[in-house]
């Protein structure tokens, strides 16, 4: 009995995008899906009730940060992450690898794992495939991620070859160390940068280990979007059709649609919550920086085409006032709206797949949002 089940419901005749259903020990949700990020066992300023209300079926938490604070033992003592944070939906935890490899000046990679310094206090720490599994088993997430090497972008072919081989060896060690296979599903992570031969090798190595799901890692790390799309085009065909596919760290509206068209089922990103804290919101006609002076007397909703409770009840002028005064409620409103916007976008993507018209939907959305404009770099 596997902890994670995936059912392919339909393939879009126009684009090849997949409509599917993932079942975990805690919930069932349709894909393609966007997962809000709750790094420290909270999606910043949002309550679990609000996340459920806006339609989030699965959220993400961060192994590295929860290991440091409060410690996996405390979470385990509380009954696991779900009980600790009072969340009834599904939870995916990353392995901590991305955070550790982001500390490039603080780390040392060996075959055993990674030696690095705690970014909070400078304490020496060591994270290995076995340790990453032990922490995630204690956290009790529905979906765990294998501990992989996250190569820099760009990287030389020689570096990438060695990195992919190490990731494959570490994936085997993760499977060996994973102690709760009936209640927690472990996903392997395909690496290989922008090199087709290494992506193929990584996918081949990992699919031979028969994980219940697969992630495409090493993207959204500074490469142009054309490179990301090209990598997805030659990577997803090597992944099993009967397992979910997860594109890590991607959350801009254009990439969610383009990733879905290229066979991706799951996405996560801090983007909607991070930009919300700066007073930036996503709307049906592009990004809006609500802290700007021109909204001081604008008593219309953030997005007239949005039916979220923020847009039904509060004006741009009021939200601008709150943000400029550093009021937490302002951040709560922009965060709620941004998450709702992306969850609603994915609902529309799923409906477009049902109707075999995701290609048409993409064109309509891009035109309205402004992605087709020459200056559309920061959307």
Q: Is 55 annotated as a binding residue?
A: no
- Of 270, 291, 237, the closest CA to residue 102 belongs to 270
> Which regions of the chain does DSSP assign to beta strands (E)?
5-11, 18-23, 28-31, 33-35, 58-62, 90-94, 107-109, 114-117, 124-127, 143-145, 185-190, 213-216, 245-247, 266-268, 280-283, 286-289
**Residue 94 assigned ligand-binding role:** yes
Give how far Cα 76 sits from Cα of 4, 32, 185, 328, Å.
Answer: 21, 30, 17, 30
Cα–Cα distances in Å, from 198 out to 159, 192, 209, 210, 362? 11, 5, 17, 19, 30
Which residue in 9, 32, 14 sits closest to 362, CA to CA?
14
User: Per the annotation, does 217 bind a ligand?
Assistant: no
How far, rounded to the nearest angstrom, does the alpha carbon of residue 215 sit from its chain's CA centroid?
10
Which of the following is catalytic: 49, 94, 254, 375?
A: 94
Is 306 known to sit in a ligand binding site? yes
98 is in an annotated binding site: yes
**Token digits of residue 117:** 């310094």
- Give dist(CA 54, CA 35) in Å, integer: 12
Annotated ligand binding at 337? The verdict is yes
Long-range contacts of range 328-332, CB-CB < 8 Å, 24 or more positions apart? 328/45, 330/279, 331/44, 331/45, 331/276, 331/277, 332/45, 332/46
Contact 265, 32 (CB under 8 A): yes
Q: Which of 142, 258, 268, 303 is catalytic?
A: 268
| Distance, CA of 310 to CA of 288 (rounded, Å) | 15
375 catalytically annotated: no
Residue 205 marked ligand-binding = no
Q: Is 325 annotated in some ligand binding site?
A: no
Q: Is 140 annotated as a binding residue?
A: no
Query: Is 113 annotated as a binding-site member?
Result: no
Q: Is 268 a catalytic residue?
A: yes
How far is 141 from 149, CA to CA, in rounded Å? 21
State the Cα–Cα distance between residues 263 and 19, nearest whole angstrom. 9
CA distance 140 to 127: 18
Q: Is 208 marked within a binding site?
A: no
218 labeled part of a ligand binding site: yes
Catalytic sites, residue numbers: 94, 268
Annotated binding site: 94-98, 148, 191, 218, 306, 308, 311, 337
Binding residues for Zn(2+), by number, are 306, 308, 311, 337
Q: Which residues belong to the annotated binding site for substrate?
A: 94-98, 148, 191, 218
């Amino acid at each position: 009995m596997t902890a994670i089940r995936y059912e392919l419901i339909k393939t879009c005749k126009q684009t090849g995008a997949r409509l599917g259903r993932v079942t975990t020990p805690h919930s069932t949700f349709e894909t393609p899906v966007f997962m809000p990020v709750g790094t420290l066992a909270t999606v910043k300023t949002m309550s679990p009730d609000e996340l459920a209300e806006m339609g989030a079926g699965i959220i993400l938490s961060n192994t590295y940060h929860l290991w440091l604070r409060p410690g996996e033992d405390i979470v385990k003592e509380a009954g696991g992450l779900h009980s600790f944070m009072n969340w009834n939906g599904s939870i995916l935890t990353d392995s901590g690898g991305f955070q550790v490899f982001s500390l490039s000046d603080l780390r040392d990679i060996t075959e055993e794992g990674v030696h690095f310094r705690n970014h909070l206090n400078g304490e020496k720490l060591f994270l290995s495939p076995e340790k990453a599994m032990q922490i995630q088993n204690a956290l009790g997430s529905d979906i765990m991620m294998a501990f992989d090497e996250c190569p820099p972008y760009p990287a030389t072919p020689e570096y990438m070859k060695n990195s992919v081989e190490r990731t494959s060896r570490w994936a085997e060690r993760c499977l060996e160390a994973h102690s709760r296979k009936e209640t927690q599903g472990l996903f392997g992570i395909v690496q290989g940068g922008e090199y087709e031969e290494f992506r193929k090798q990584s996918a081949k190595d990992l699919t031979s280990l028969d994980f219940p799901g697969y992630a495409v890692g090493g993207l959204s790390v500074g490469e142009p979007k054309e490179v990301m799309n090209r990598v997805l085009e030659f990577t997803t065909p090597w992944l099993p059709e009967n397992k979910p596919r997860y594109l890590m760290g991607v959350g801009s509206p254009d990439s969610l649609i383009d990733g879905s068209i290229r066979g991706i089922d799951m996405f996560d990103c801090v983007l909607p919550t991070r930009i919300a804290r700066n007073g930036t919101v996503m709307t049906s006609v592009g990004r809006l920086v609500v802290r700007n002076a021109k909204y001081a007397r604008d008593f219309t909703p953030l997005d007239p085409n949005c039916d979220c409770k923020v847009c039904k009840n509060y004006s741009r002028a009021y939200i601008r006032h709150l943000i400029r005064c550093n009021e937490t409620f302002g951040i709560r409103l922009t965060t709620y709206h941004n998450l709702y916007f992306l969850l609603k976008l994915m609902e529309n993507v799923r409906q477009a797949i049902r109707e075999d018209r995701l290609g048409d939907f993409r064109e309509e959305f891009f035109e309205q949002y402004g992605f087709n404009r020459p200056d559309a770099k920061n959307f």
